[in-house]
Chain A
Amino acid sequence: MTTLAQAPIAKPQKPWAATYKDRGKTAGIFVASMAVSYAVVAATPLKGKLAYAAIFFATYIVIDFVINFAKAGRPAAVDAVFRAFVTMMVAMAITPIISILVTVWIRGHHGLHWTLFTKDMHSNAYTDAVPQGGLLHAIIGTFLLVLFAMIISVPIGILTAIYLTEIRGKFTRPISFLVQAMSGVPSIVAGLFIYAAILLPLTKKLNGFEGSLALAILMIPTVARTSEEVLKLIPGDLREAGVALGGTQWRSVAMVVVPAARSGLITAMILGVARVAGETAPLLLLTGGSGTKNFNMFNNSMGSLPSYIWQSFGAGTPESITRAWAGILVLLVIVVVLFTAARTLGNRKVGKK
Chain B
Amino acid sequence: MTQTPAQIPAKREITTKPRFSDKVFRGVVTGGGLSSLVILGLILAFLLYNGYSTLKQQGIHFLTSSNWQAVVADSGAVDIKNSHFGIAAMLIGTMIVAVIAVIVGVPISVGAAVYLTFYAPASIKKIMVTAIDLMAAFPSVLFGLWGFFVLESSGEYWAKLLNKYFSWVPFFKLPAPYVTRSPFIAGLVLAIMIIPIVTSVSREIFSQTPLDRIQAAYALGGTRFAMLRAVAFPYARSGIVGGVMLGLGRAMGETVAVYTVLNIVYQVNWQILLSAGGNVASMILLKFGEASPYEVKALMAAGLVLFVLTLIVNSIANLIVTRTGKSGR
Contacts and interface: CB of A to CB of B under 8 A. Distances in A.
A159 B38 CA distance: 14
A8 B49 CA distance: 81
A18 to B, nearest CB: 10
A251 B42 CA distance: 33
Interface in A20-58: 48-50
A5 interface: no
B299 interface: yes
Contacts of B281: 186, 188-189, 281
B255 interface: yes
B150 A103 contact: yes
B240 to A, nearest CB: 14
B139 A331 contact: yes
A104 B134 CA distance: 15
A114 interface: no
Interface stretch (B5-13, B167-175, B246-254): B246-254
A340 to B, nearest CB: 9
Contact of A175 (B34, B111, B142, B149): B34
B219 to A, nearest CB: 13
Nearest to B131: A97
Interface string B38-52: 011011001101100
Contacts of A75: 223, 225-226
A189 B253 contact: yes
A185 B116 contact: no
A85 interface: yes
Contact of A159 (B24, B33, B115, B246): B33
A339 B139 CA distance: 13
A171 B50 CA distance: 30
B142 A281 contact: no
Contacts of A306: 139, 141
A331 B43 contact: no
B103 interface: no
Given A49-B154, A248-B22, A189 B43 contact: yes
Contacts of B318: 177, 180-181
Interface SS majority for chain B = helix
Interface stretch (A87-95, A115-123, A131-139, A232-240): A87-95
Nearest to B32: A159
B69 interface: no
Contacts of A184: 246, 249-250, 253, 310-311, 313-314, 317
B81 interface: no
B192 to A, nearest CB: 5
Interface residues of A, number: 92
Contacts of A156: 32, 35
A144 interface: no
A290 to B, nearest CB: 16
B166 interface: no
Contact of A328 (B130, B142, B154, B246): B142
A28 B66 CA distance: 57
B199 interface: yes
Nearest to B51: A196
A332 B246 contact: no
Given A185-B310, A285-B288, A93 B139 contact: no
Interface stretch (B85-93, B207-215, B266-274, B300-308): B300-308
Given A180-B318, A184-B249, A189-B47, 19 more contacts: A82-B224, A83-B224, A86-B111, A87-B119, A96-B135, A177-B315, A181-B314, A186-B255, A188-B306, A189-B281, A192-B300, A192-B303, A193-B47, A196-B47, A249-B26, A250-B22, A274-B137, A275-B137, A280-B256
The 3 A-B pairs at the shortest CB distance, nearest first, are namely: A278-B139, A159-B32, A186-B253
Interface of B: 18-19, 21-22, 24-26, 28-37, 39-40, 42-43, 46-47, 49-50, 107-112, 114-116, 119-120, 128, 130-135, 137-143, 145-146, 149-150, 154, 157-158, 161, 192, 195, 199, 223-226, 228, 246, 249-250, 252-256, 260, 281, 284-285, 288, 296, 299-300, 303, 306-307, 310-311, 313-315, 317-319, 322
Interface of A: 48-50, 75-76, 78-79, 82-83, 85-90, 92-94, 96-97, 99-100, 103-104, 107, 155-156, 158-160, 162-164, 166-167, 169, 171, 174-175, 177-190, 192-193, 196-197, 200, 217, 220-221, 224, 248-251, 253-254, 271, 274-275, 277-281, 284-285, 306, 309-310, 313, 324-325, 328, 331-332, 335-336, 338-339, 343
23 contacts: A83-B224, A90-B115, A90-B116, A92-B112, A97-B135, A103-B150, A175-B34, A175-B37, A177-B322, A180-B314, A181-B311, A184-B310, A184-B311, A193-B47, A197-B46, A271-B137, A280-B140, A313-B260, A325-B145, A328-B145, A331-B142, A332-B138, A335-B137
